[in-house]
Amino acid sequence: MVNQLLKIFRKSKFVLYVQVLDKIFFFVLFLALARVLSVNEYGDIVLIFSISNILLYVMQYGLPVFFQRQTAKADYVDKSHLNVAIIYGTVSFIISTLLLLLIVGIFYGYSRYSLALLVHSFVFSYFFISIFNSFLLGKGEQCIQFLSYLVSRILSIVLISVFLYYLAGIFLFLTIGFVGNAAIAIMFYLYLISKHTDKNKNSKISFASFKYIFVMSLPIGIAAISNFLYDKIDVILISKVINIEQVAYYNVSYGVFKASQLLFSFILVTGFTRVSSLSGRKTAVRIFFQKYFKYLLIIGIATLVFLVIFSKIIILYIYGEKYLPSVILLQLLSLSIIPVALNNLTGITMNGLGMYKENLTVVLSALFINVLLNIILLNSIGILGAVYSTLITEVFILVYDLYFLKMKLW
């Protein structure tokens, strides 16, 4: 088993390295913000980040999944697809910016529009990173991803760390992050153009090409949007039902919880391409699924034990005593790590098999259940309601996914 895990690691090592770099970057960024801002100010920034991320995923429309699958099946990167992504991304940024300013201004009375715009620019730069990254993943180009992230993220982390002690400021930190993201996106695009596009192919964009891409991406897009809304809706509901202070406590615990998923999520990035290539052979897909299910179950149990034992040390020594209420939240959230790990596997298997409608059914149902549970439990038991809602929803997703996979593969 150890040899098998090492083999999987070697195939996905650059994906892991990229995820580690990004996790470290966001850890440093949010740690810096948590330390220089008051709890309420930090809660405001977390809220804006959450709204902006929701708008980003709505606008992405599941295109990264579509482009990765299409590229994996072709001999080259279709330049017209790249052009569609750039044009659509630019228009989406303008629309989502207006929506963000309206939401924070009308519903939350937030008047620091320049800061909200900077946060959204930083967040939305991930649209282009993720789109170009999907083409690279489809071509198995993991090394260039790592090198691009390495240069940009190390410089950003060093600059933020230095300025944390000498010239701390939220505008400065976010500007550093935005410039780093822009550099990564540009490097990805130039590499794709120079190495993987066919210069002899027509790169003109037509209405038909737009229509084809968006029609094919529809079920993927709705599922991706619903999945992300489920992941982020907690913060919005907590801010409205309880208060911004509780948003800050929850975000700290949820941030550590999400970071722990790095221990298994990198394995499945390349797994999607693998399942897609095996989709015509049910026996091969079953073997893949059973093998990875066992590995992820073991990793999930180990991660759960680690988080329960070391939650207090992690919170107190990294974030400080003012976030002590986050400890119990992290310990309870860790109970969800096993179904989360297995849901990653069931999700990529269903998408790899082309089970987009089934996946959409599961995700929409999970979103409805999560919102309903949050509304009921937040009002009745407070912030712990968000934690219990996450656990119940993740178990529901796992059971429903397994039902559909059993129908398909067995």
Q: Over the stretch 392-402, which tens digit does the pLDDT of each residue have?
A: 999 999 999 99
CB 279 within 8 A of CB 354: yes
Q: What is the C-alpha separation between 18 and 348, in angstroms, rounded?
A: 19
Q: Over the stretch 319-365, which tens digit does the pLDDT of each residue have?
A: 888 888 888 999 999 999 999 999 988 988 887 787 878 888 888 89
- Other Cβ atoms less than 10 A from the Cβ of 116: the count is 23
Mean pLDDT lowest among 127-131, 167-171, 303-307, 368-372:
167-171
**Residue 64: partners with Cβ closer than 8 Å, 6 or more residues away:** 130, 131, 133, 134
Confidence band for 1, pLDDT divided at 50, 70 and 90: low
* pLDDT value of residue 266: 64
**Percent of the chain clearing pLDDT 70 (strictly above):** 86
* pLDDT value of residue 201: 65
The answer to whether residue 366 scores a pLDDT higher than 80 is yes
* pLDDT value of residue 403: 93
The answer to whether residue 9 scores a pLDDT higher than 60 is no
Q: How far is CA 152 from the centre of its chain?
A: 19
**Residue 80: partners with Cβ closer than 8 Å, 6 or more residues away:** 201, 202, 203, 204, 205, 209
**Residue 255: partners with Cβ closer than 8 Å, 6 or more residues away:** 26, 27, 30
What's the mean per-residue pLDDT of the chain? 81
Name residue, tokens 């096993």: 338
- 375-396 mean pLDDT: 91
* pLDDT value of residue 376: 92
Q: What is the C-alpha separation between 12 and 9, in angstroms, rounded?
A: 5
* pLDDT value of residue 304: 92
Tokens of 332: 């309870």
- Taking alpha carbons only, the member of 86, 73, 84, 67 closest to residue 203 is 84
* pLDDT value of residue 392: 94
pTM: 0.66
- Taking alpha carbons only, the member of 3, 126, 353, 106 closest to residue 134 is 126
* pLDDT value of residue 8: 58
* pLDDT value of residue 353: 81
- 142-171 mean pLDDT: 79
Q: What is the C-alpha separation between 172 and 185, in angstroms, rounded?
A: 20
Q: How far is CA 67 from CA 81, 119, 195, in A?
A: 8, 27, 17
* pLDDT value of residue 73: 66
Mean pLDDT lowest among 54-63, 150-159, 195-204, 303-312:
195-204
Q: What is the C-alpha separation between 185 and 152, in angstroms, rounded?
A: 10
- 227-251 mean pLDDT: 78
Confidence band for 61, pLDDT divided at 50, 70 and 90: confident
* pLDDT value of residue 5: 55
Confidence band for 4, pLDDT divided at 50, 70 and 90: low
Name, of 179-193, 236-250, 343-357, the range with top average pLDDT.
Answer: 179-193
CB 17 within 8 A of CB 148: no
